[in-house]
Structure 1
């Protein structure tokens, strides 16, 4: 049996599309259970899921009073019955062969976790949202993350989104770390790797993640991602819980702020910050111009999307660093 676990909270805009893509899977429904673990939603999410639970006996709704994802996953794992566990996200839809492809690859490769490419899209397509979508799929936006930039052959990787895991992985390497509001999937995958486990990304299927559609929501989400990078390292005491790409926005922001602070004592150091900013704007401007020409997108929106993503992520990381002394107390 395959046990699919999907943490949810206030997902009324996305949940029906997610469930419909699950119902369209070619995986045998007699060998499937789907557990939606809800953080006590205050919108219509529970009402929508309830409609499906009454129609389809393999769909279930579980309460998650702690609200955050690692608690939801651990509750779902405890309640599930399958020998294979898959972690989904309600902000995404899944190709009809997603379940069958990953389950087959898990067995064929003898892997601990298997995932596939996660494409990025938006619900409402406007010049601004299309620019945001492009930046979240571009290597200058998200680094060398193979599950975002695409693959043409199977390969071992450090992490995958919405993966398919053998149940005994949790017995061998432990459950999700409930201290982590973000990065819980990355941290688990790094733990698997440190223990000698194997994680693969495979072609032949994909999922589509529906991104935030305003700069405010994009900034808020990536501020949280950046902050939790620092807190993840602190809580796990493992710098290897993350990858180098997760720290690049922080390094860029420090290249601006530290020289400006030092310039209070010796003003020529301000030129270091100016040089860093000019180089950044030059590179991102060139990338944005090429994308605008090649894909007929708005140059201004592209440039602003890159800057919003990078600066909010870096600022979140800096604020995460600032929190560490207080956490130690």
Structure 2
């Protein structure tokens, strides 16, 4: 986990993390977890986190930053912490993910920092594989693929769209078999010196703070590594309205990251905004000259239908198994229409959010109220 040859560069827009410059406890891993209003899920998550199988000689502390929950989450964390000294409740008056992560970092004592998420199921050796990947690669951040497992009919459709390479622009972060350098990874695991060098998470960002941190890390000469051995399963939204609002927020905060660094984390992140702009221009032109643009509209529809079918079939095959069968075809026919709606929500939500973010930046960054708050 050597940092030789790296120059310290703490971004002036984020909290100073130079206190993490020391080696920390060499056999202690600090797990950092931001949350808010997770009463229904916090116990299952803590059961999973405390059951992690660590390498021989390693210990862990689990720092949970509660964003002033009003559903009893904070009280439940305190109750669990009274029974397990490894659990450390942390106050997060800022309420959002970035402030929660930084609050945990300020208390972290370990040589290794691992981020976890309440809505994610982790393999029993998740933390052990993170530590092994750091030792094997000497990277500045390591993580696994971002894999979704939906619940219910719509949740499964949203997960199928989430995993489609066509929906996410071929992002390596969705490829469970990929091993190598990447532009970002799901959640993350860092040697503590990474934060001393590049700083903590940008507290002006409600969303995309992880992508921005990885971009900042890479711009200062750091490496991000994705390992196929680091396994977890994310539970996505299970309703179209929730998904659409989430994607609007993700898209909204993208221009703020671009403004800060003068570039996006990846070109694929601009595609939804271009797609929405093309739809608007096509609709305006079709109003005056309808027939020449009927074919173009048909192309758009065919694209979305094709992407939806391509996303639905692998999910159907994975669940049904075996060669093509009538049952598999029935499942595909049932899943595909919902995937179509999910694909539309991903593209339109992210694209519309990006344009709204650009609009607010042009007005002098007067943040839209609902988009400046974290939603689940």
Tell me, yes or no, whether TM beats 0.5.
yes
Would you say how many aligned residue pairs link Structure 1 and Structure 2? Answer: 321
1:219 and 2:239 aligned: no
1:239 equivalent in alignment to 2:259: no
Of the candidates 63, 82, 98, which is equivalent to residue 70 of structure 1? Answer: 98
Look up the match of 2:168: 142
- Give the corresponding residue for 2:157: 131
8 Å Cα contact 2:160-2:312 kept in structure 1? no
Q: Which runs of 5+ in 2 are unaligned?
A: 1-27, 317-330, 367-376
Preserved CA contact (<8 Å) 2:143 2:230: no
Aligned residue in 2 for 1:87: 115
Residue 164 (structure 1) shift: 0.6
For the residues of structure 2 that align with 1:148 and 1:117, how far apart are their CA atoms? 5
How far the C-alpha of 1:210 sits from its partner, in A, is 0.8
Name the CA distance, whole Å, in 1 between partners of 2:365 and 2:76.
42
RMSD across aligned positions (CA): 2.1
SS at match of 1:118: coil
- 1:285 aligned residue: 305
Q: CA deviation at 1:262?
A: 5.8
Which whole-Å deviations, capped at 9, do the CAs of 1:107-146 have from their partners, x for residues lacking one?
1211100001221013x32x22211111111112222222
Give the TM-score, by structure 2 length. 0.80
Q: Counterpart of 1:324?
A: 361
**Per the alignment, do residues 271 and 33 of structure 1 end up closer, same or farther by CA in structure 2, a change over 3 Å counting?**
farther
Say if 1:112 and 1:198, in contact at 8 Å, map to a contact too.
Answer: yes
Question: TM-score, with normalisation over the residues of structure 1?
Answer: 0.91
- Name the residue aligned to 1:248: 271
Deviations, residues 283-319 of structure 1 (Å, cap 9, x unaligned): 2212333555551232211111111111111111111
Query: Secondary structure at the residue paired with 1:107?
Result: helix
Tell me if structure 2 keeps the 8 A contact 1:147–1:161.
Answer: yes
**Separation in 2, partners of 1:229, 1:270:** 36
- Which residue of 166, 174, 182 corresponds with 2:199? 174
Question: In structure 2, the residue corresponding to 1:140 is in which secondary structure?
Answer: coil
Residue 12 (structure 1) shift: 1.9
Aligned-residue offset at 1:325: 1.9
The alpha carbon displacement at 1:82 in A equals 0.8
Tell me, in whole angstroms, the C-alpha distance in 2 between the residues paired with 1:275 and 1:146: 33
Conserved 8 A contact 1:180-1:228: yes
Q: 1:93 & 1:292 partners in 2: Cα distance?
A: 23
41-50 or 209-218, larger mean C-alpha shift: 41-50
Q: Contact 2:164–2:310 at 8 Å: present in 1 too?
A: no
Question: What secondary structure does 1:239 align onto?
Answer: coil
Partner Cα distance (2:140, 2:103) in 1: 20
For 1:173 and 1:217, how far apart are their aligned partners in 2? 33
Shift of residue 238, structure 1, vs aligned partner: 2.3
In 1, Cα distance between equivalents of 2:271 and 2:238: 24
Change (3 A) 1:291 1:87: closer
Provide closer, same or farther for how the CA distance between residues 249 and 221 of structure 1 changes in structure 2, counting only shifts above 3 A: same
| 1:24 aligned to which of 45, 51, 55 | 51
- Give structure 1 stretches of 5+ with no counterpart: none
